[in-house]
Amino acid sequence: MSFAQLGLSEALLKAVTEQGYTEPTPIQQRAIPIILQGKDVLAGAQTGTGKTASFTLPLLQLLSDSDVIHQKPRRVRALILTPTRELAMQVHENVSIYGKHLPLHTEVVVGGASIKMQTRNLKHGCDIVVATPGRLIDHVQQKNVSLAHVDILVLDEADRMLDMGFLPSIRQIMAYLPKQRQSLLFSATVSNGIKALAAQLLNKPVEIEVARQNATADTVTERVYGIPRERKRELLSYLIGSNNWKQVLVFVRTKHGADRLEKQLIQDGIRSAALHGDKSQGARTKALESFKDGKVTVLVATDIAARGLDIDSLPHVINYDLPQVPEDYVHRIGRTGRAGASGEALSLVSPEEAQLLADIEKLLQRQITRVADTGYEPVSLRVQDAPKKAAPSKPAGKKDFRHKPKAPIGRDPRAKGPRGDAKTGRRTGGRV
């Protein structure tokens, strides 16, 4: 099937061709015609499936087909809500790329960036707003923007919005919108919470599911390394150094953990940057840009900060800590193997994390392949063998005292020994 068969206009077909897309992805094939018909949609699609284009392309077409396209001042006719600033910026970039041959104007409205500039731009008028909920509410309350003429609403990564506690904000925003509108809800996982939200927001939605719920992309090779906790950093440096990996996204659980690992990797001679919610927007953008440009090899990120990252053909994702919420495993893995490219997702799992691993495998309904010989002393990842004090199962949001002042963790990988050298990648024991 071609994009032309989906009923897209010449201006959009041109933009898509310029992007080098030859055929629509499954979510695009299914969602675009339905959205063009003006219907509400509930779509279960994870990142990497081409979901952003699947709502952006028809949205742009519907807006540009409408009679009010030349109305001045411009009124906001489409609103795209996202859980994080990074995702908002990513979606904004997509809207700009696909809409570059159309006379539509888009603004992005996120926290952590100058409100003055946003106010000026919003007052100037725009057709599309891409926003995170909190900052958008500020602007509406300050009367910098009106949402009374929104024809199309998109909630992107709605499951993450619920996880992040945005439900009250979403409800508040709904009160600013006209009742008569087209609403599209995209979510990686379709939980009962999402179904309840859909029942409130959507009108007779067409349900589309492209990947099996909670499935990870087939193009991703997943493996688990059973490893003592204090050896993780050493193994990580070794894997990156010995394989000469150029772009590696490493997930950790806490902001503090991200900063610490960034420093340790730099000590190991690996160019690294950390991305987490305590960093200013400027620092986050800089870290991301350096990673995209190849100036740093490793981006150490927390789940929330990494949400919405779209880096073309990101080849390696490493779970340095397993996530507390099993669904986050699916989201993390979604960072690689995007749009058909192959990727590798490795999890460094200590015995203390056996229960978290079991929860993930229960969700996936399959076992993740274990690396038989990690080059380190073998450890058991069976729940019954886990140390009694299963420290990682602390509630999210509490301070992490576990690794307190015992720096540096693990053996210095630069010290040559039986297990090899992280910088040169030479190794004498074990097989990866």
- Binding part of the chain for ligand AMP, among 20-28, 113-121, 217-225, 237-245 by CB under 6 A, reads 20-28
Which of 41-49, 285-293, 325-333, 409-417 is the region at the interface with ligand AMP (rule: CB under 6 A)?
Answer: 41-49
- Buried-exposed string 81-110: b where 16+ CB fall within 10 A, e elsewhere: bbbbbbbbbbbbebbbebbebbebebbbbb
Nearer to ligand AMP among residue 1 and residue 68 (C-beta): 1
Smallest gap from Cβ 95 to ligand AMP, in A, equals 12
264 binds ligand AMP (CB under 6 A): no
- Kindly state whether residue 13 participates in binding ligand AMP, applying the rule CB under 6 A: no
Min. distance of Cβ 26 from ligand AMP in angstroms? 10
User: d(Cα 25, Cα 18) in Å, to the nearest integer?
Assistant: 16
Could you tell me if 98 and 15 are in contact, meaning their C-beta atoms sit under 8 angstroms apart? yes
Which two structure tokens, joined as six digits, stand for 368?
Answer: 């993740």
The torsion angle over the Cα atoms of residues 207, 209, 162 and 350, rounded to 10 degrees, is: 160
371 counts as binding ligand AMP under rule CB under 6 A: no
Give Cα separations from 241 to 234, 244, 314, 351, 394 (angstroms): 11, 5, 17, 25, 32
3-class DSSP state of 216: coil
Give the whole-angstrom CA distance, residue 61 versus residue 120. Answer: 27
Nearer to ligand AMP, 122 or 217 (CB): 217
Query: Reduced to 3 states, what is the DSSP secondary structure of residue 408?
Result: coil
Q: Judged by CB under 6 A, does residue 21 bind ligand AMP?
A: yes
Among 30, 51, 232, 284, binds ligand AMP (CB under 6 A): 51
Q: Does 339 bind ligand AMP (CB under 6 A)?
A: yes
Which of 29, 49, 247, 254 is in the footprint of ligand AMP by CB under 6 A? 49
Using CB under 6 A as the binding rule, the residues of this chain from 52 to 71 that contact ligand AMP are 52-53
* Helix ranges, 202-325 (H): 232-243, 255-267, 281-293, 303-306
Nearer to ligand AMP, 168 or 340 (CB): 340
State how far the Cα of 333 lies from the Cα of 214, in Å rounded to an integer.
11
341 binds ligand AMP (CB under 6 A): no
By CB under 6 A, residue 205 contacts ligand AMP: no
Instruction: Tell me the C-alpha distance between 230 and 206, whole Å.
Output: 49
Q: How far is the CB of 247 from ligand AMP (least distance, A)?
A: 14
Q: Which of these segments, 42-50, 59-67, 137-145, 416-424, binds ligand AMP (CB under 6 A)?
A: 42-50
DSSP 103-156: ---EEEE-TTS-HHHHHHHHHH--SEEEE-HHHHHHHHHTTS---TT--EEEE-
C-beta of 21 vs 245, nearer to ligand AMP: 21
Q: How many chain residues are in contact with ligand AMP, going by CB under 6 A?
A: 15
- Answer for which of 6, 15, 24, 239 binds ligand AMP (CB under 6 A) is 24
User: Within a 10 A sphere around the Cβ of 137, how many other Cβ atoms?
Assistant: 16
Distance, CA of 126 to chain centre: 26
* DSSP-derived 3-state class of residue 78: strand
Nearest distance from residue 312's CB to ligand AMP, in Å? 6
Q: Judge contact between 42 and 158, C-beta under 8 A.
A: no
Q: By CB under 6 A, is residue 50 in contact with ligand AMP?
A: yes
If one asks whether residue 338 binds ligand AMP (CB under 6 A), the answer comes out as yes
Nearest to ligand AMP of 292, 403 (CB atom): 292
Q: Which is nearer to ligand AMP, 326 or 334 (CB)?
A: 334
Residue whose CB is less far from ligand AMP, 98 or 251: 98
**Residue span 296-335 as binding mask against ligand AMP, x where in contact by CB under 6 A, dash where not:** --------------x-x-----------------------
Q: What is the contact surface with ligand AMP in residues (CB under 6 A)?
A: 21, 24-25, 28, 47-53, 310, 312, 338-339
